Amino acid sequence: MATVRGSADGEVDPSVLERARRGDGRAFERLVRHYDPRLRALAYRLLGDADRTDDALQEAYVKAYRSLAAFRAEAPVGTWLYRIAYNACLDELRRRGRAECPADDVPEWADPAAGAEERLADRASLAAALAALPPDQAAAVVLVDADGLGYAAAAEVLGVPEGTLASRLSRARSALRQALRGEAAREETR
């Protein structure tokens, strides 16, 4: 596959965006390939299934393609794509509900020096805890804590005020920790 080059701040080369906005299909594909790993991570964590992730992202990219000409660049294009992908995931959830994330599909811990929080969880229980969250909370914690978006950008993606984002984030973090602590306690008593 061709390498997609982006600028240092993680946004795609502006010339690629501009060509895509003018209808250059190749540039559009470069654009979505640039952002796909991040969007895919969000979708997968929300949907818990690789095939459904593909389906949602296909829908998202086609929608983006249709509306890119109207994109006003009032927000970074990455944020705009995040929002489209998030909405596509919500549509997918409305259609078919949440999938349990099979433990076999979840990678092993990547960080061998994991800290206390990581030791509390195994990957399956984390996936399950994330799947148990309402989608808006799951998206908040994924966008901010996993993907590193700022509050403003995450709020933009979710279409809510920053205060609402902060509230959802707090509830999501709390619920995840509680679920993981409970899982760890159950493991210890077995």
Partner 1 sequence: MTPAPERDRALGRALRSLDAPPATPRFWADLSSRLAAERTAAASSFPTDAASAVGAPAAAGAPAALPVAEAPEAAVHDPASRRGRRPLVPPWALAAAAVAAVFGLVTLAVRPDGSETVVNTPAGPPEASVPAATSATVGAVASGSVPSTSGPGQAGASVAAPTTAPPPTAPPTTRPPTAPDGDLTPPPWSGPALAQGAVPGVFVEAWEAAGSPSACAALAFDDLGTGAGATPRTADFGSGAWAVAYDQPDAPGVRSDGTFDPAAGRSTFGIAGTSLSAGDDRYDGFAFAFLWSDASRADYGPEGGTGPKSLAYLQVAGQGCLYNVWSHRGEAHLEHLLAHLRFVEGAGAPDRPR
Nearer to partner 1, 91 or 118 (CB): 118
**Residue among 33, 63, 187 nearest 119 (CA):** 187
| Distance between CA atoms of residues 89 and 87, nearest Å | 5
Binding map of partner 1 across residues 51-80, x = CB under 8 A, - = no contact: x-xxx-xx--xx--xx--------------
> Which lies closer to partner 1 via its Cβ, residue 79 or residue 126?
126
In this structure, are residues 154 and 165 in contact, taking their beta carbons and an 8 Å threshold?
yes
123 binds partner 1 per the rule CB under 8 A: yes
Position among 69, 73, 103, 146 found at the interface with partner 1 (CB under 8 A): 146
Are 128 and 100 a contacting pair, CB within 8 Å? yes
Residue 71, burial from CB neighbour count under 10 angstroms (0-12, 13-18, 19+): middle
Is 143:42 a contact under the CB 8 Å cutoff? yes
Q: Which of 11, 50, 160, 166 binds partner 1 (CB under 8 A)?
A: 50
The SS3 of residue 165 is helix
The helix-helix angle for 77-96 and 25-47 (nearest 10°) equals 50
Stretch of residues binding partner 1 (CB under 8 A), selected from 83-91, 92-100, 121-129, 151-159: 121-129
Which of 32, 56, 30 shows the shortest CA–CA distance to 42?
A: 56
Q: Is 104 in the site for partner 1 (CB under 8 A)?
A: no
Site membership for partner 1, residue 91 (CB under 8 A): no
Which C-beta is closer to partner 1: that of 79 or that of 149?
A: 149
Which residues of this protein are in contact with partner 1, per CB under 8 A? 1-2, 4, 16, 25-30, 32-33, 36-37, 40-41, 43-45, 50-51, 53-55, 57-58, 61-62, 65-66, 101, 105-111, 114-118, 121, 123, 126-127, 130, 141-142, 144-146, 148, 173, 176-177
